[in-house]
Chain A
Amino acid sequence: MSAPAPSHRDIDPDRMIACPACDALLVDRDVAMGDTASCPRCGTVIEAPRPLAMTRIIMLALAALILMIAAVFFPFLELGAAGMVRRSSLLDTVMAFATGLTAPLTIAMAALIVILPVTRFLTLLYVLGPMAFGWRPARHAAGAFRLAEALRPWAMAEVFIVGVAVALVKVAGLAHVSLGPAFWAFVALVIVTVLKDNFMSRVTVWKTLDARRTS
């Protein structure tokens, strides 16, 4: 893959690959397991197949989904001041903007913290599940994977965790705060998500989907 195209005339589009970042035309070689193919011009990693990557991704997505369920239903943070205790769940956090002019933010918050990450986990399971077992791709797998990739920048679970840390410092002087089980579930979820995204090579997934569809 790292070799530039030979010359203008004998180019067969099906044997070439264009770097998604800089459009350099490269010969589409098979990349061996564990190797990393990157663009010679801009350095973008094009393909990085890893052994059992598909299985690992679906396992991690499944783990993330279970952790998310735990994070939503268990108490998230607990605040005590002057003899009063206030428990706050993830759902309360989402509903914080529900009154007044900031109401539209409620939907955005729910989407960024819970709905979009869950949608990503489900679509990845749907697309990569059959791949891991060596089956034919599920119906509309291409559309589902496109959706999962489009949602990637908008699923902000890890940003939320840093927000929690900042909020804790802000109220530390005001009241006593303790972390609930849901907080730890959410931290685990972030770690699992980062691991999962590191295993994923977009071009490799597309090639596998393509190969399975035609075979």
Chain B
Amino acid sequence: MENTGRPPHILTARDAGLVGCTHCGKVHPPSAAVCGRCGAALHARDIANLQKVWAWLIAGMVVYIPANLYPMLSTASLGHTTENTILGGVIELMHHGSYGVAAIVFVASIIIPVAKFIAIAFLGLTTTRRVRMSAHHRHVLFEVVEFIGRWSMIDVFVVAILSSLVRLDFAATITPGIAAISFALSVAFTMMAALSFDERLIWDALEDE
């Protein structure tokens, strides 16, 4: 599979005037609307599909802002309350000396979401423009985005576990903050953006050359 030169020309279902099911692979004549094997909706490439990706992505970016500004959780301990944002939680973990866990939270709640915004926007933009990055690498990038998206949910789960566990009346109580909800929404929206992206668009540019 390691091609050094130009990849061999491959006929796609679209070139052959057919529609392939993106779910089970069955090939249909262009008039078919629903896959005869698995019942999934068949769709040709269209620009509306990409607009859906942009809509979900922008929604995800918008709710990511309050997720960082508002407290993720508040800790009431012996009379005084401290509120922690995502970044604040990471810094506190580092003060405690648990660098490994601080790294996990930092990667899951800041690096992965931001990298995902950039990656999805890049993939969306490069379906119509020529880029240096090969279709193969963009395909891998998409698979990584698709795989890694759900792992951002870690911090929301941590908040849920902490607030159900740490309820020791006066000694210490942890309650979830409003950022938890906007962060969860941000993860869900970017997952929707990745799911509605049509992978075939990555490869189409290759044939149009």
Contacts and interface: CB of A to CB of B under 8 A. Distances in A.
Contact of B105 (A43, A112, A166): A166
A52 interface: no
Contacts of A43: 1, 136, 139
B149 A23 contact: no
Interface stretch (B32-40, B52-60, B116-124): B32-40
Contact of A146 (B10, B39, B195): B39
B66 to A, nearest CB: 12
Interface string B13-56: 11110101111111111000000011110000000000000000
A88 B21 CA distance: 46
Given A41-B7, A42-B139, A210 B191 contact: no
Contact of B168 (A95, A149, A167, A175): A175
A109 B160 contact: yes
A163 B27 contact: no
Given A25-B27, A93-B164, A105-B184, A42 B154 contact: no
Contact of A23 (B171, B172, B200): B200
A32 interface: no
A108 B167 CA distance: 22
A126 to B, nearest CB: 16
B141 interface: no
A21 B139 contact: yes
Contact of B203 (A42, A79, A97, A210): A42
Contact size class for A?
35 or more
B195 A153 contact: yes
A154 B188 CA distance: 9
B39 A142 contact: yes
B94 interface: no
A121 interface: no
B202 interface: yes
Contacts of B188: 108
A148 B155 CA distance: 26
Interface string A98-142: 001110110011001100000000000000000000000000001
B125 to A, nearest CB: 19
B12 A25 contact: yes
B53 to A, nearest CB: 15
A68 to B, nearest CB: 16
Contact of A11 (B18, B24, B38): B18
Interface stretch (A12-20, A57-65, A191-199): A12-20
Interface of A: 4-5, 8, 11, 13-14, 16-25, 28, 40-43, 46, 77, 79, 81-82, 84, 86, 88, 92-97, 100-102, 104-105, 108-109, 112-113, 142-143, 145-146, 149, 153-154, 156, 159-160, 162-164, 166-167, 169-171, 173-175, 177, 202-203, 206-207, 209-210
Given A97-B181, A105-B156, A175-B166, 4 more contacts: A22-B139, A156-B153, A163-B156, A207-B37
24 contacts: A13-B28, A18-B12, A19-B20, A21-B199, A23-B20, A25-B12, A41-B10, A79-B166, A84-B168, A84-B169, A86-B165, A93-B160, A95-B164, A97-B160, A101-B181, A108-B184, A153-B149, A156-B150, A163-B153, A163-B161, A171-B162, A174-B172, A203-B24, A206-B37
